[in-house]
Chains A and B, each alone.
Chain A
């Protein structure tokens, strides 16, 4: 019995450490975030990969062969300013249909939230080089010469270039780094907070998060794959523009 009490006490402590300002007495629930993908409204799943069938804002025809990205620290915001931070991360792997649904590892109170948000990528506190065995195991790392830590997204495929040839692109997002001087790396943050807006959480709620892949190429910077398609990780300017374009990529879908 003492063991059970100890476990309950420990569980409470762990739970409390992850949740800010939880309101006692309310019924709690896990929330499922379903990550869905489209290209300007056309649904994209792994079955649509490998065929050049999309056209970006620049008019480039392109395919998708790989898409995986990292989200972290889902946060539920209450109208009184309180928030519940769900520490943790989820590597959405569209290519292999893995982790398309992320069930919050802790429960949150049922109720109305003025906003649900998450971090695209890792913030600087979480982006610790080599710290996560599961991410290391799927080669999600960024080389130390570019600052270490982890990728935020890998979007790859082929496009038709300006001489009508199929060329590979690797739209990889990381923390922007200028490594012109290897002894003096200059960084700029490129993780960002995605605000989905108001969500009413019911018992076992399910929330759709939509990614419009076309937005990565759309604006404010109209991406020219002819100019920027490869070796983008050490390209500081490209990373900053990816960050800018990423602001409009995600939106709230259906929830119940």
Chain B
């Protein structure tokens, strides 16, 4: 009998063992697995071809496009999605989420989870962050409502609070 292959993922602090050819297939993207297999629909699929940023999640703290990443490539990886920010069990929000609410840094909200994940990676990685850094980090995110200006305000607010 063929030995079964298991893909181990840690998603938002929870361990998942996905059996190959049962829970996960070689062609499944991480975006598909998160949304359809694990029911974590906070991660959005906009273009499904790596050009809009809506599906951005963190793998080991780094932002990646989950629509261009195969789940089988993620064995042993730690994944964070929008559902894993703050402390959902206690109802606590991440400072970025709080600031997005305060500044209404979204309109339709479809691109928001991806944008927040990229920003989390940015502010976790760097002590000091300039406006240019923020724009660079978000340059691959397609926001059509033009909420860019409020997003910049929201991030700068978080950085300012962190400094003080």
- A and B: bona fide binding partners: no
Please give the residue numbers on chain B whose beta carbons come within 8 Å of chain A beta carbons, in ascending order: none
Question: Which A residues contact B (CB, under 8 angstroms)?
Answer: none
